[in-house]
A and B are shown apart, each in its own frame.
Chain A
Amino acid sequence: MSGTWAFEGRDAALAAFDRSADGTELAEPVREGGPRTEVMRSTEDPVVAELSFGFEDVRIELRLHARERVRTVSGTVHGDFAYALLEARRPDGHREDVVSIEETGDFVIPDLRRGPLCLTLRRDDAPPITTEWFIL
């Protein structure tokens, strides 16, 4: 296999190496598909994908919204916790945003740019859980 494109993306691939999170619990994808629900309000950005991640009794359901170049992640965290934060991270380690989870488990992370993203759920009395990387 050869070609000038064969090693495209090499810098990004090399930069992915990071062993600092090996001890973190990983929430793996359970489902991904198109939007199952109708958009009821025109003010809401269209949902382009729904996916969910699971680890033991915790399930993180995400809806990915897109409007032009702006992305929004909304969703619900199901699990047993009193208080939790959700942290959005980029491949370069940049922490894009931190939002608190409402009592209902709902959350919204607005105004994101496209590209790979992962979420880390930090609960009050349990180790953090990180989702597998997904493309926004």
Chain B
Amino acid sequence: MGAGLPDQSHEDSETVLSTGPRHETPGSLATTGRGADDAELVRRALLGEYPAWRDIVDRHLPMVNAIARSYRLSTPDREDVVQTVWLTLNQHLPRLREPRHLKAWLSRVTRDKCLRQRERDARQYPTDPEAFAHIGGAAPDPETEYLRKERDATLRRAVDGLRDPDERRAALRYLEPESVPRAEDPRVASNHRRRMVRRLRDSLEDV
């Protein structure tokens, strides 16, 4: 994407297809698209007019940068986000339904990408394992965790083996209180629970 080398023979032309980066400052821009609205710039950029794309960038890059900075991402992440916003616009240029709303589109896409990047950073933030040494004792070791899962699976199989739906519900309420709504009558629930525990014990003895 954007791989083509700048074609020197078209340096002064309005139409440059697939051009590479230009190292010029916004102040030295040609004024071809200054007065054009976004829809017009998009239309011309779609025809391959590099100056139209340049004018889109110069018009909206400060807003994209301001949004990206407001998310307080690291510098490399922010640079990746901003670059990806423009790559995404380039991809979507032929598919924009409302080119005159380009500013809103860019704003939405920038916020979305910043948010995703921030969420991802939160999941991969480098942490010194020593920082957790003091809470290590509270975490179950892998073997305990494995045995817990195996016990849960066995219990779940035993619950699935209960034929009476009420008992099955009561068992589930006992094992996973959040997964089943509470019964109206506490005495009924208590009876079910007693019956269910008895049957579960029987089932587990058979396993």
**Which residues of A line the B interface, CB within 8 A?**
1-3, 5-22, 26, 32, 34-35, 46, 48-49, 64, 66, 89, 91-94, 114-116, 118, 130, 132-135
Contact = CB atoms under 8 A, between A and B. Distances in A.
Contacts of A93: 1-4
Given A7-B26, A9-B82, A135-B81, A16 B90 contact: yes
Interface in B50-86: 50, 53-54, 57-58, 61-63, 65-66, 69, 76-77, 79-84, 86
B53 A21 contact: no
A6 B65 contact: yes
B20 interface: yes
A15 B2 contact: yes
B46 A19 contact: yes
B119 A118 contact: no
B94 A22 contact: yes
Contact of B2 (A17, A32, A66): A17
A133 to B, nearest CB: 4
Instruction: Sort A-B residue pairs by CB-CB distance and give the 4 closest, nearest first.
Output: A93-B3, A6-B62, A15-B21, A16-B86
B146 to A, nearest CB: 11
B22 interface: yes
Contact of A26 (B46, B69, B83, B95): B95
B31 to A, nearest CB: 17
Residue among A6, A35, A130 with max Cβ neighbours from chain B (10 Å): A6
Given A48-B123, A48-B124, A135-B80, A16 B66 contact: no
Contact of A14 (B57, B81, B82, B91): B57
Given A1-B63, A6-B65, A92-B3, A115 B124 contact: no
Contacts of A130: 91
Contact of B91 (A13, A64, A132): A132
Contacts of B82: 8-9, 12-13
24 contacts: A1-B66, A5-B65, A7-B25, A7-B26, A8-B79, A9-B86, A10-B26, A10-B57, A10-B58, A14-B21, A14-B22, A15-B2, A16-B83, A17-B19, A18-B2, A18-B3, A26-B95, A49-B116, A89-B1, A92-B2, A130-B91, A135-B84, A135-B113, A135-B117
Residue among A16, A22, A116, A134 with max Cβ neighbours from chain B (10 Å): A16
Nearest to A116: B84
B23 interface: yes
B1 A21 contact: yes
B4 A9 contact: no
B91 A91 contact: no
Interface string B6-34: 00000000000111111101100000000
Contacts of A20: 4, 17-18
Given A19-B18, A34-B123, A66-B124, A91 B2 contact: yes
A13 B87 CA distance: 7
Contacts of B50: 17
A134 B84 CA distance: 7
Contacts of A16: 1-2, 83, 86-87, 89-90
